[in-house]
Amino acid sequence: MADSLAYFLMSWTDLSLLTLTAVGTFAGIYIGAIPGLSVTMAVSILISFTFAWDVNDALALMVGVFCGGVYGGSRTAILLNIPGAPSAVATSFDGYPLAQQGEAGQAIGLSTVMSVIGGLLGVLVLASTAPVLSEFALQFAPRDYFLIAVLGLLLVGSLAAESLSRGIFAASLGAVIGLVGMDPVTAEGRFTMGSMQLLGGIHYVVVMIGLFGVAEAFFQLHQLNVKPVRQNVEKIIPSLNLVLKFLPLSIRTSIIGVIVGALPGTGGDIASLFAYDHAKRSVKNPSKPFGKGAYEGLVAPESANNAAVGGAFVPMLTLGMPGDAVTAVMIGALVIHGLNPGPMLMVTTPHIFWFVVGALVLANIFLLIFGLMGIKLFAKVVELPKAILIPLILVLCVVGSYSLNNSMTEVYWMLGFGIAGYFLKIFGFQMGPIILGVILGPLMDNSYRQAMASVGDSLPAFLTELITNPLSIVLTIAIVLLLLSNFPLKRMIRGSKNAS
């Protein structure tokens, strides 16, 4: 116990570790804020960079970048309607409307505090129940991942603001985009039209930058002459009352975040969309309508995606299995530093676990400090003349997509999606459902085929498993309830009465 505490406090008491965590968090915020500069990429670069360092130094820096980066994605989502990372997509739904109403400062302030609350709750779960939670996560069979993907696709009802049919179209389009590339089972090209470049698929961040960044920049050209909204930069730090008011929602969505984050194969991007949907369903009287600047719509995804960070470390530290793309890279880093990430990690090197927990808590504290610093300056970004802002956005989009793979192919794709997204926007399509499809399409495809292969490609056997396995039953019931709640049953009954 005393040992654990010593390892926990290691990054707090050692000046160089403290500085590295701080630097990592600060850098992470800005890496996360730029669409296309991803945390995964930053951590991969750090592996080579920190090769000769002590493993604790390297971990402190990476943990900082991870925490800062997941939070940073919300910055540009709120200010420019361009999520810096897929996990901040849901943040833009209500964050950007707030910025347009002159409340960018308050929105960033609130999202910072909620991110930190979510982040700390995630670490708390990691520290207290990691072994139990990872055993629970192992119980998820391929069919359960399939059910989660189906459940996720049903969120389209929440994300498609006005027209459900347009939302379904957009999600299907997204799913097709997500399926481009080599078929994981047969190694045949799918929708690749013979192009070798397409065998690797279309990077979903490219789709996101195009649809949100470029399309948004083009769309704002319509409002060149509209005077930017003056930003109110008073009281940017949310009052205790406000925080307490949203605390229950924040806790609920953090739990969603940490569980989805702990499942290998799903991460903060899916968690934040689930959380947004949960907020929309459970909050009866939001501060403003959802999609028009509801604080609740900001609180939910921001708590969830930061809680997912703690969740992602659960399978990594207990089993040596990645919880998401970033922890996959961090496992590589541990291997290179001569550690053996696996189920024995906590037995042979218990200090790694407590060191990471300590560094995560520390990074969240730095997140609060750095996040609340400079908001006034940032909020002014929205007040920039469009003639300066729009070219700036486009430059960021090009840099971001080029740096994904250091290749122009991604830039062309990004521009293509930008133009397509512009026209889709004009015809009233939402961008959220497309991203939903891109993320969930491949998950649904893989898990369905895994589940079917497991039962010898027998549909009756597959369906029987859905209603005989306890975990699958729960998920199946959730899907049925969600479907029923979308049908206006009461109105239908009343309608039939009136008719008779």
Partner 1 sequence: MMKNILATLVVSTGTLALAASAFADYPERNIEGIIQWGAGGATDNVARSLTPHVEEALGTSIVLTNRPGGTGVIGMNTVLTKPANGYTVLYGAENPQLYPIMGLADFTYDDMTPINVIGQGLVVIAAPADKEWANFGDLLDEAQANPGTLRMGGTGAGGLPSTVLAMINSVDELDVRNVTFGGDGPGITAMLGGHIDFMPLSLAAAQEHIASGRLKGLAILTKESIEELPDVPPITESLPQIESYLPWGPFWAVAVREDTPNDIVKTLSDAYEQGVANEQFQQFLSENGAQSLNLQGEEAEQFLNRWQSVTAWALEKAGSAKVSPEEVGIPKP
Give contact residues for partner 1 (rule: CB under 8 A): 40, 43-44, 47-48, 51-52, 138-142, 181-188, 196-197, 199-201, 264-265, 315, 319-322, 328-333, 335-336, 338, 340-345, 347, 405-407, 446, 449-450, 453-454, 456
Positive or negative: CA dihedral 233, 363, 279, 270: positive
Q: Which two tokens stand for residue 262?
A: 């702990």
- Our CB check for partner 1 shows the closer of 341 and 433 to be 341
Contact between residue 298 and residue 98 where contact means Cβ atoms under 8 Å apart:
yes
- Min dist CB 175 to partner 1, Å, is 18
- Our CB check for partner 1 shows the closer of 371 and 441 to be 441
- Our CB check for partner 1 shows the closer of 184 and 385 to be 184
Q: Which two tokens stand for residue 9?
A: 């406090």
Cα distance between residue 70 and residue 29, in whole Å: 8
Q: Which two tokens stand for residue 314?
A: 């659960």
- Our CB check for partner 1 shows the closer of 188 and 234 to be 188
- Min dist CB 446 to partner 1, Å, is 7
- Our CB check for partner 1 shows the closer of 2 and 347 to be 347
- Our CB check for partner 1 shows the closer of 351 and 449 to be 449
- Our CB check for partner 1 shows the closer of 100 and 405 to be 405
Cα distance between residue 497 and residue 108, in whole Å: 50
Q: Which residues pair with 190 in a beta bridge?
A: 181
- Min dist CB 207 to partner 1, Å, is 15
487, HSE (Cβ side, Cα atoms, 13 Å): 8
Cα distance between residue 391 and residue 252, in whole Å: 40
Cα distance between residue 217 and residue 211, in whole Å: 10
- Our CB check for partner 1 shows the closer of 419 and 463 to be 463
- Our CB check for partner 1 shows the closer of 9 and 141 to be 141
Residues in contact with 412: Cβ distance below 8 Å, sequence separation at least 6, in sequence order: none
- Min dist CB 332 to partner 1, Å, is 4
Contact between residue 43 and residue 61 where contact means Cβ atoms under 8 Å apart:
no
- Min dist CB 148 to partner 1, Å, is 15
CB atoms within 10 A of CB 298: 31
- Min dist CB 449 to partner 1, Å, is 7
Residue with tokens 């920190």: 50
Q: Which two tokens stand for residue 444?
A: 């649904």
Q: Which residues pair with 182 in a beta bridge?
A: 189
Contact between residue 213 and residue 397 where contact means Cβ atoms under 8 Å apart:
yes
Q: Which two tokens stand for residue 70?
A: 């997941």
CB atoms within 10 A of CB 422: 18
- Our CB check for partner 1 shows the closer of 187 and 240 to be 187
- Min dist CB 346 to partner 1, Å, is 10
- Min dist CB 455 to partner 1, Å, is 8
How is 32-50 classified by DSSP, letter by letter?
Answer: HHSTT--HHHHHHHHHHHT
Residue with tokens 């900082």: 64
Range list of β-strands (E), 16-132: none
Residues in contact with 479: Cβ distance below 8 Å, sequence separation at least 6, in sequence order: 147, 150, 151, 154
- Min dist CB 442 to partner 1, Å, is 10
- Min dist CB 125 to partner 1, Å, is 19
Do you know the residue count of the chain? Answer: 500
Q: Which two tokens stand for residue 8?
A: 């926990």
3-state secondary structure of 500: coil
CB neighbour class for 71 (10 Å; exposed up to 12, middle 13-18, buried from 19): buried
- Our CB check for partner 1 shows the closer of 3 and 457 to be 457
- Min dist CB 42 to partner 1, Å, is 11
- Min dist CB 402 to partner 1, Å, is 12
- Min dist CB 322 to partner 1, Å, is 6
Contact between residue 271 and residue 305 where contact means Cβ atoms under 8 Å apart:
yes
Which of 241, 210, 206 shows the shortest CA–CA distance to 403? 206
3-state secondary structure of 77: helix
- Our CB check for partner 1 shows the closer of 51 and 423 to be 51
- Our CB check for partner 1 shows the closer of 44 and 92 to be 44
